Amino acid sequence: MSEQLTAPINRILPYSVVDGPGNRVAIFFQRCNIHCAYCHNPETQNLCQNCGTCVEECPGKALTMDNGRVRWAVGKCLECDRCIRICPNHASPKVTQMTPEQVFEKVCESLPFIRGITVSGGECSLYPDFLEKLFTLTRKKHLTALMDCNGTIDLSWYSGLMALCDGVMLDVKSWDPEAFFTLTGGDGKNVKKNLLWLSQQGKLEEVRIVYAPGCVDAEHCILGIAETLGPKQTEKVLLKLIRFRPFGVKGPLSDWPPPSMEAMAGLEALATRVGFRRILIL
C-alpha cells in the first residue's frame, strides 16, 4: 500500500488580496531550503525539532510533549504566538500534516468568493508532487493556481506541475552569487534560469526585490532581470520593489534600518530607464 501524500502546512488564509490578483486563498507550507537574513516569517523555515522549549512557556497549555514530540491542541491555543517568538530553531509547533484533498476542502470553504489559490511558504516548490495534485483539484473548480517561490529549485524539471500552474511570483534575493550566499546561505543560479524559462513559458506572474540597504544589490538585480528577460518581457512583467521592514525578522537584521522613500524612488527610476513599465513600490 502506497504511503499517503502529505505536506506540512503552516497556515491557510481563507481570504488574501496581497498574494496575487483578486481575492485568493493563501496556503503557507512549512520548511525552506534557504534562510534569508531579512525573512519576516522565519518560523516557516524549519520543521519542529521537538526540543520542548515552547511547551512550558505556552500560556494556554495548548502545547504538550507526547512520546518525545510536541503536540498542539488547536482548541486551547490563544494565538499569542509566544511559541514562535521563543523558538530557537526558526520553526513552529503549530504545523499540520495535510493531504492535498484536505487542503482542497479548506479552499472550497472560501467559494465562491475567490479567484484562485496561491501557494507560498516557507518554500512551496519543495513539494512538487503535492502541488500537482492540489492544482489538479483546484482546476476542476476553475480556480487559478499561483506559486510564490524563491526560484532556487529548477521548475523546468516539473512539467506536470507547471502545466497546471497559472503563474509564478518569483523572488530575486540578490544578483551577485556571493551576495546571494551571504544573504540566504544558498545558491541563486536557478533563480536566473527560472526567470528566463518562466518568461518563455508565459508563466512569470511577477518579479519581486526586497531592498535592504547594504544587504541586497537591488540595482544589479534590476539590471540583471531586464537583461535576462529582454525588452518585450521586461515591459510586460510586474516588478515589485519591496521596502525592507524589520517586522518579524530575527537575527542581525532585526534592527536594520529600512531604506528611505527617496532610495525606493531611485530604484523605480532605474527600472523605468531599463524598460520596466509595470512597477509597484511596497
pLDDT digits (tens, 9 = 90+) for 36-83: 999 999 999 999 999 999 999 999 999 999 999 999 999 999 999 999
Look at residue 112 in the predicted model and tell me its pLDDT.
Answer: 94
Q: To which residue does cell 509547533 refer? A: 93
pLDDT of residue 2: 55
Grid coordinates given for 108: 472550497
CATH 3.20.20.70 assigned to domain 7-44+95-281? The reply is yes
β-pairing, 7-16 vs 24-29, is: antiparallel
Cell triple for residue 7?
A: 505536506
118, 19 Cβ separation under 8 angstroms: yes
Per-residue burial over 83-97, b = 16 or more CB atoms within 10 Å of its CB, e = otherwise: bbeebeebbbbbbbe
Choose among 161, 142, 35, 45: nearest CA to 95: 45
pLDDT in the model for residue 66: 93
Q: Where in the chain are the domains?
A: 7-44+95-281, 48-94
Tell me whether the CATH fold assigned to 7-44+95-281 matches the one assigned to 48-94. Answer: no
pLDDT of residue 252: 87
pLDDT tens-place string over residues 222-245: 999 999 999 999 999 999 999 999
Looking from the CA of 75 toward its CB, the CA atoms found within 13 Å total: 0
Cell numbers 512557556 label which residue? 57
Write down the pTM of the prediction.
0.94
Tell me what pLDDT residue 1 has: 45
d(CA 95, CA 80): 15
pLDDT mean values, one per 10 residues, the chain (282 residues): 85 95 97 96 95 94 95 94 93 96 98 97 97 98 98 98 98 97 97 98 98 97 98 98 95 93 98 98 97
* Domain 48-94 CATH (choose: 3.40.50.300, 3.40.50.720, 3.40.1280.10, 3.30.70.20): 3.30.70.20
